[in-house]
Amino acid sequence: MAMVTPFRKDGSVDFAGLKKLTAHLIEGGADYLVVQGTTGESVTLTKEEKKEVLDTVLEANNGTKPVVLGLGGNNTYELVQQMSRMDTDGIDAILSVTPYYNKPTQNGLVEHYKALSEASKIPIVLYNVPGRTAVNMMPDTVARIAFECKNIIGIKEASGSVEQIMNVINVTPKEFMVISGDDALTLPLLAAGCDGVISVVGNAFPKEFSQMIHAALNNNFEEARAIHYKLLDLIHLLFAEGNPAGIKEVLAHLDICENYLRLPLVPVSEKLSDKIRKYLVEEEFMG
């Protein structure tokens, strides 16, 4: 699950809420925890806060679930230094987004990830999300990286293109994991051969979403479809005014953590909040 970072009204990190969320995900059957990804508002955390957030999750998790740390950026040199020096105790893999803003070529992406691969002591998962980065890592590029960098073990694919993701599955090694980065597309992608998902809605409903994933992986698509369609309207609501504003609103309604974000992000509108509450009541997720 792509964990949110709970904040308090004064803008400080809500470590009690973070511990509560970690326990909620573990008890709900999440297969692994992703810390400081996009959903975790990692770009607004200080260096010191990032360490404290990671340490808090590691302590609360206590080795129960694998932990993936989000660590990416557009300064390859700085990332190489971080990866070569970091303490990886308790961290099972790194999720590293494609460089944003400076818009590298496909060859530039290959060289960027080769450098990270050589520096990292633990496996790396690529993260392609062109809607945020302004660069789309193409299937042939992913295949080059997968074949040339043995400690790059998979990709979180959030291009939004089912055809592109199928092509990634088709051209990469069988053992290379292709992971959905889009909750709404996860079920059809599993049918096409994806290996799983790094989910946003799973913050709130880890049990239900995990059941859907495992049902689909076991070819029980009747059960998987029932859960998919039960959550689909909510998934659309979650992203109507941006992520993680939507999922934090749900978590607040469920009394898991408060709904505060760091600027430039802001909470959802009252209108969307009412729609989310209506969904939760009608689907009997809350009274």
- HEC string of the chain? CECCCCECCCCCECHHHHHHHHHHHHHCCCCCEEECCCCCCHHHCCHHHHHHHHHHHHHHHCCCCCEEEECCCCCHHHHHHHHHHCCCCCCCEEEEECCCCCCCCHHHHHHHHHHHHHHCCCCEEEEECHHHHCCCCCHHHHHHHHHHCCCEEEEEECCCCHHHHHHHHHHCCCCCEEEECCHHHHHHHHHHCCCEECCCHHHCCHHHHHHHHHHHHCCCHHHHHHHHHHHHHHHHHHCCCCCCHHHHHHHHHCCCCCCCCCCCCCCCCHHHHHHHHHHHHHCCCCC
> Which of the following is catalytic: 50, 65, 113, 156?
156
Give, to the nearest 10 degrees, the angle between helix 270-282 and helix 221-238. Answer: 160
156 is catalytic: yes
**Among 113, 127, 260, 279, the one annotated catalytic:** 127
> Which residues are the active-site residues?
127, 156
